[in-house]
Structure 1
Amino acid sequence: MDLKQVSSLLDEIFPPDYAVEWDKVGLQIGDLTSEVHRILVALDVTSPVVQEAYEKDVDLVIAHHPLIFSPLSRILSASYPEKVVMRVIKEGLALYVLHTNLDAMPGGLNDFWAERMGLKRVEAIDPEIRQRFYKIAVFVPETHVEKVRSAMGQAGAGKIGNYEQCSFRTRGIGTFLPLEGATPYLGQVGKVNEEEEFRLEVLVDEMHLQEALSRMLEAHPYEEVAYDVYPLANKSLKAGIGRIGELESPRSLKDFLQLAAQLFGQKNLRLNCTDVGMDSTIRRVAIVTGGGSSLVQVALDKGADVLITGEIKHHDALWASENGLLIVEVDHHITEGPAVWLIKEKVERVFAERGWPIEVVATDAESGPWRVADAQ
């Protein structure tokens, strides 16, 4: 498979529309005509990761963090990220990035941690990320309703949450007058015809819209197909940055911290200074992988007793302490580390379903930017 096909499929698995506006996601480097046989998944694109990709004969690197984030005014070999950009290009590698879209999407990184914490009634802390949706309404003779519906479904239309092939149909009468030169599937030229038809409706996101329309037109028997496309304002409360939910049963702060230690490691936890005692009750938990400073007030407004995040700014931690919100700061790298395996599993599953013989491997070359400062 070539890079254009692979990157298009990755866009389907990890929709770029879920990314926040300032993010830089999708294909960043690569020749669209090059073949992809092996993929390396990493959290960051560093010199060791690029060297690993070279040694493992990798064609494409999929990374969680963008290598190219701010505009590059020059590309020199003396500084990061320019020197890594140069090495990626020199080795003929391609680079695909999925960042806040993985954080925000249903079944993404924040849902990963919410599930492992056993949270119930989970929703996005900030559900403002909106994937653009459309409604396709097409008029089809009864003989071809299933064929047209199935074609659009196979193109990605009709997917709502954990459900696929969703549609609605209503019966009606269509009228049309074929003019000279027409070759109607039903009816006669020069005569007003009335035919029993169905109005078939499906929901589709922007990414799958054109493919769904193309498949619909191919499957439809009419020479001229009557259909409408409506832009919608739908948004999913499950999509957005961060997650907030309720523990299956309330826990004391002490018990909750023990749960957090099991998930993240005791040595990685920091708790902000508040007057809250260890016997205080924790019911509602917010999770933000990576940096969570921007959502501190939103989490408090939504009733969170505690916010778990990978990184918090000093003054935001003070604000939370003064306003009674507990914050458990873990580590940016720890909260996002599972992204590598999450991406790998999702990509491998879809490739297997498509019958694509592309190998996907996880990096062995990164451990985060920090280490213990041991002077002994």
Structure 2
Amino acid sequence: MSGLGLQEVVSKLEEFAPLKLAGSWDNVGLLIEPSAPKSVENVFLTNDLTEKVLEEAIGQKADLVISYHPPIFASLKRITQKTWKERLVATCLEKRIALYSPHTSWDSIRGGICDWLCDSLPHASTTPITPDVENEENGLGRFLTIHGNLTLADAIKRIKEHTGIKNVHVAIGVDSNLETNIKTVAVCAGSGASVLKPAAADLFLTGEMSHHEVLDCTQRNISVILCNHSNSERGYLKVFKSKLESSLSNKVKVSVSTVDADPLETY
């Protein structure tokens, strides 16, 4: 691989998903920039950057880590060895590894994480639940009109197969059952309750919701499927790997973490 300059790679990332699509509260873009010049030959993708994942990235000789969730979110007042997030920053700087986070810009962009999650179900159309003011094709969440017949049981099976997870949490609407026909679905990767709430759909699909948010849905006869937060996002990395390799003209090696996983497990 011949490699590319860091800023050239960052420009391609922002070309795919402009940072202005991210929430105003979010911390996105280039978060750690080593001293110039910085050439990028190896890009490493992960949903969450932990110390174990960073060890894997170092083993892969990563020049740039793209972490979907921003590891730096709350302000850091010092960089010591005291906390794991401080150690992440210190190690990246020591190893001259750049760090980029797209987070909610990937949620909003057409062809991003929400659309990948939508692909788990057969649908005739999708529209953003909260459209972007500049381009209505982009925006938060997706409202799906299902194509053909789809029962709740079918939806559960398809979602598990698409995301590659063994278990999902299911809450069934008060007047529904597993054989209820699903005609409309509201989708939001991650923690989607606030985005999904205004949608009038038969089914909500997201990563996580609180007890009371789920209870409110079931009493409105909306069934809910929860994948766990990062399980509703992580599978997109393999799709993005191909997109990024193509946009960088295959001049950069792109790999996906095999260590990164949702912290919650079902026993």
Q: TM-score, normalised by structure 1?
A: 0.65
Could you give the per-residue CA deviations for residues 113-135 of structure 1, whole angstroms, max 9, x where no partner exists?
223312122101121x34xxxxx
Residues 202 and 223 in structure 2, CA contact (< 8 A), matched pair in contact too: yes
Residues 51 and 84 in structure 2, CA contact (< 8 A), matched pair in contact too: no
Residues 268 and 331 in structure 1, CA contact (< 8 A), matched pair in contact too: no
Number of corresponding residues: 262
Question: Which residue of 174, 185, 193 maps to 1:285?
Answer: 185
How many angstroms apart in 2 are the aligned matches of 1:251 and 1:53? 41
Could you give the per-residue CA deviations for residues 25-83 of structure 1, whole angstroms, max 9, x where no partner exists?
11000135211111111111111121122222221111111011111122221213112
Task: Name 1:19's counterpart in structure 2.
Answer: 22
* Residue identity opposite 2:161 in structure 1: Q
Give the fraction of aligned pairs with identical amino acids, expressed as a percent.
28
* Residue identity opposite 1:335 in structure 2: S
| 250 and 51 in structure 1: CA distance in 2 versus 1, 3 angstrom threshold | same
Q: How far off its partner does 1:341 sit? A: 1.3
In structure 1, list runs of 5 or more residues that go unmatched.
131-234
| 309 and 61 in structure 1: CA distance in 2 versus 1, 3 angstrom threshold | same
Question: Which residue of 147, 154, 157 maps to 1:248?
Answer: 147
How many angstroms apart in 2 are the aligned matches of 1:288 and 1:324? 19
Could you give the per-residue CA deviations for residues 221-249 of structure 1, whole angstroms, max 9, x where no partner exists?
xxxxxxxxxxxxxx332211111111111
Does 1:51 pair with 2:58? no
Task: Name 1:209's counterpart in structure 2.
Answer: none
CA RMSD of aligned residues (A): 1.9
How many angstroms apart in 2 are the aligned matches of 1:61 and 1:363? 10
How many angstroms apart in 1 are the aligned matches of 2:158 and 2:20? 33
* Residue identity opposite 1:365 in structure 2: V
Task: Name 2:173's counterpart in structure 1.
Answer: 274
- The structure that has the greater radius of gyration is 1
Task: Name 1:71's counterpart in structure 2.
Answer: 75
* Residue identity opposite 1:47 in structure 2: E
Question: Secondary structure of 2:114's partner?
Answer: helix
Could you give the per-residue CA deviations for residues 186-245 of structure 1, whole angstroms, max 9, x where no partner exists?
xxxxxxxxxxxxxxxxxxxxxxxxxxxxxxxxxxxxxxxxxxxxxxxxx33221111111
* Residue identity opposite 2:139 in structure 1: G
Question: Which residue of 25, 30, 36 maps to 2:40?
Answer: 36
In structure 2, list runs of 5 or more residues that go unmatched.
none
* Residue identity opposite 1:67 in structure 2: P
Q: How far off its partner does 1:95 sit? A: 0.4
Task: Name 2:6's counterpart in structure 1.
Answer: 3
Residues 27 and 73 in structure 2, CA contact (< 8 A), matched pair in contact too: yes
Does 1:310 pair with 2:207? yes
Residues 66 and 97 in structure 1, CA contact (< 8 A), matched pair in contact too: yes
Could you give the per-residue CA deviations for residues 291-344 of structure 1, whole angstroms, max 9, x where no partner exists?
111123222xxx311011111112111211222211111121221112321221
